[in-house]
Amino acid sequence: MRIAFLGLGLIGGSVARAVRAHGLAGAPAELVAWTRDGSGPRAALDDGVINEAAPDAAAAVDGARLVVLAAPPLACVELLRRLGRDGDLHHSLGANATVTDVASTKAALLATAADGGVPYVGGHPMAGREASGFDASDGTLFSGRPWVLTEAVHGGDAGMVRELARACGARPMDLDAATHDRLVAAISHLPLVASVALVEAVAGTEDWPGAQALAASGWRDTTRLARGDVTMGAEIAASNAVAIAARMRDLRARLDEWIELLEAPGGPDVAAVRDRLATARQRLDG
Amino acid sequence: MRIAFLGLGLIGGSVARAVRAHGLAGAPAELVAWTRDGSGPRAALDDGVINEAAPDAAAAVDGARLVVLAAPPLACVELLRRLGRDGDLHHSLGANATVTDVASTKAALLATAADGGVPYVGGHPMAGREASGFDASDGTLFSGRPWVLTEAVHGGDAGMVRELARACGARPMDLDAATHDRLVAAISHLPLVASVALVEAVAGTEDWPGAQALAASGWRDTTRLARGDVTMGAEIAASNAVAIAARMRDLRARLDEWIELLEAPGGPDVAAVRDRLATARQRLDG
């Protein structure tokens, strides 16, 4: 059972470590990886995580039963185009191969795979951290976490992708790509952009040096997402832009209500502010 | 050396624990506390953290060299009014007493102390957590953190408040109340309200059950502040409303720019999004 990784940073590396430790469906797997600059695969080879660092994408894909795209979303779209019937990697893909991925957005990837005749089942393990690169990878990152699987197209083998999720200790969860993208816009992509906007509203202003000296855990936690990988962030934002923008309009409407509450003539109604905070807190756990 | 705490939740309790462990200026202190419902002082007495749970505020203040107001901001304003020359606690305050506090906003407290002739030096230890109440207190909470001291009025002894900060392992830092309130609006109060607005934009919507099932550490961290004590949050927002609202307008302007970027005809400019993320990340550490 040969598994090819195209991309091997935090997420791909974490998947590879888990498969190395647990095998796939209980059987050991042969892992091969390729990335554009080759640094992740070299480190993974040195660590004994993979069996082979492929010289190019075609060599990695050749003979693989499962191809895991583990690059930023737009790079995954490009790889799916290359794996499609008009692409340079199409002839390297075996007859019984399935392509999956671990990207944060799914609809653009699904559409590309469907258009190109790629046997594809999209995947999204729901965990991350702000560090990036293979050096930050961790075979337990997805333990106990949901792992979304989207619609299979062109004979993609969902059962094998489920086994990949289980090998990582994750819980496979079927969800159509459009719904997935709408839901992660809410709980993942909106928090990312809101975190960046918060940094932009404060860091770099004339008050920043003094404010920074006073910043505590609240500031650190609310801005943690703004420290993530910028290419990943940009490709997530770009590939789910419509859904994110819709959520940002909702956030802006709530901010407008808060501004009105705080700027009320004679000062804010403390009881109303308290009620609003209590309602938000209840909903968070409801 | 008698120290009185009016209020004894997370912050007051953490200060009391540190003073119990380290004394004040190297000498042991006698700690007395009063709160409206008395539960914090009872627990603190059982734990050996304080020497006496006072039956009322006057009994706590009586004979104290240092009075620490450790209630939410508006409750502290009310206590300062009672400690002022027209208040019922004024006659209990000794001739050499100093009043301080640990509240997140300072200008309203300073103005009340100045008006009422209270010997006052405002304080704000820059640390917190989302848990509240004496049970969540921790004598190391302020270790290595800044502890802001505002302008002394009516003979308030700043040296003693500095010793209180040092007893907690904190770093005393002089800052005028108006600047303090502007800076904490940026790095503490704006993140709080933004966190609540984020919850309001997502939790309780029809997508929430599905989205909640996928939520990971990014959602948890960006919404952590929305889990804090609601009375505390409401009184912070109300007592620093003008500065917070100004910062919220800045945040909203940044969100508008993001919405424009994401809704660009033909899709977002990925390089522009990436540059913006990179700039924010640099500023965060700059």
Quick one: which H or E segment has residue A53? strand A52-53
**Shortest CA distance to B196 belongs to which of B233, B231, B238, B236?**
B233
Q: Listing from the earlier edge strand, what are the strands of the sheet with B30-34?
A: B52-53, B30-34, B2-6, B66-69, B98-101, B120-125, B146-153, B171-174
What residue type is B225 in one-letter code?
A: L
Distance from CA of A235 to the nearest CA of B (A): 7
A149, two tokens: 């699987």
Give the pLDDT band (50/70/90) at residue B98.
very high
User: Which residues of chain B are within 8 Å of residue A204 when distances are taken between CB atoms?
Assistant: 283, 286
Q: Any CB–CB contact under 8 A between B159 and chain A?
A: no
Long-range contacts for A49-56 (Cβ within 8 Å, ≥24 apart)? A49/A13, A49/A16, A49/A17, A49/A20, A50/A5, A50/A8, A50/A16, A50/A20, A54/A4
Give the pLDDT band (50/70/90) at residue B195.
very high
User: Which residues of chain A are within 8 Å of residue B253 when distances are taken between CB atoms?
Assistant: 201
CB contact under 8 A, A251 and B193: no
CB contact under 8 A, B128 and A216: yes
Residue A48: burial class (beta carbons within 10 Å; 0-12, 13-18, 19+): exposed
Q: Any CB–CB contact under 8 A between A244 and chain B?
A: yes
Distance from CA of B1 to the nearest CA of A (A): 30
Average pLDDT over residues B183-190: 97
Q: Any CB–CB contact under 8 A between B201 and chain A?
A: yes
What percent of chain B clears pLDDT 70, i.e. is strictly above it? 100
pLDDT digits (tens, 9 = 90+) for B142-186: 999 999 999 999 999 999 999 999 999 999 999 999 999 999 999
Provide the pLDDT for residue B104.
96
> Is the Cβ–Cβ distance between B174 and B152 less than 8 Å?
no
Most B CBs within 10 Å: which of A14, A184, A222, A239, as the mutation test of the B interface? A222
Provide the pLDDT for residue B108.
96
Long-range contacts for A213-217 (Cβ within 8 Å, ≥24 apart)? A213/B146, A213/B173, A214/B126, A214/B146, A214/B148, A214/B183, A214/B184, A214/B187, A214/B188, A215/B126, A215/B187, A215/B188, A216/B126, A216/B127, A216/B128, A216/B145, A216/B187, A216/B188, A217/B127, A217/B128, A217/B129
Mean pLDDT of chain B: 97
d(CA A264, CA A278): 20
Q: Any CB–CB contact under 8 A between A196 and chain B?
A: yes
Provide the pLDDT for residue B17.
98
pLDDT digits (tens, 9 = 90+) for B206-234: 999 999 999 999 999 999 999 999 999 99
> Is the Cβ–Cβ distance between B70 and B102 less than 8 Å?
yes
CB contact under 8 A, B241 and A263: yes
A28, two tokens: 């050991």
CB contact under 8 A, B208 and A283: yes
Alpha-carbon distances, residue B152 vs A142, A175, B129, B158 (angstroms): 53, 61, 28, 6
CB contact under 8 A, A183 and B211: yes
Q: How many CB pairs under 8 A join A and B?
A: 299
Rounded to the nearest 10 degrees, the angle between the axes of helix B241-262 and helix A190-202 is 120
Q: Any CB–CB contact under 8 A between B276 and chain A?
A: yes
Q: Any CB–CB contact under 8 A between B149 and chain A?
A: no
CB contact under 8 A, A268 and B238: yes
Residue A142: burial class (beta carbons within 10 Å; 0-12, 13-18, 19+): buried
Distance from CA of A25 to the nearest CA of B (A): 24
User: Which residues of chain A are within 8 Å of residue B230 when distances are taken between CB atoms?
Assistant: 274, 277-278, 281
User: Which residues of chain B are within 8 Å of residue A247 when distances are taken between CB atoms?
Assistant: 201-202
Provide the pLDDT for residue A285.
87
d(CA A22, CA A109): 28
Consecutive 10-residue averages of pLDDT for chain A (286 residues): 97 98 95 97 98 98 98 97 98 97 97 98 93 95 97 98 98 98 97 98 94 95 95 95 97 98 96 98 91
Residue B129 scores a pLDDT above 90: no
Distance from CA of B57 to the nearest CA of A (A): 24
User: Which residues of chain B are within 8 Å of residue A200 when distances are taken between CB atoms?
Assistant: 254, 276, 280, 283
pLDDT digits (tens, 9 = 90+) for B33-51: 999 999 999 999 999 999 9
Distance from CA of A217 to the nearest CA of B (A): 7
Provide the pLDDT for residue B31.
98
Provide the pLDDT for residue B130.
81
Residue B131 sits at φ, ψ, to 5 deg, of: -70, 155
> Is the Cβ–Cβ distance between A193 and A247 less than 8 Å?
no
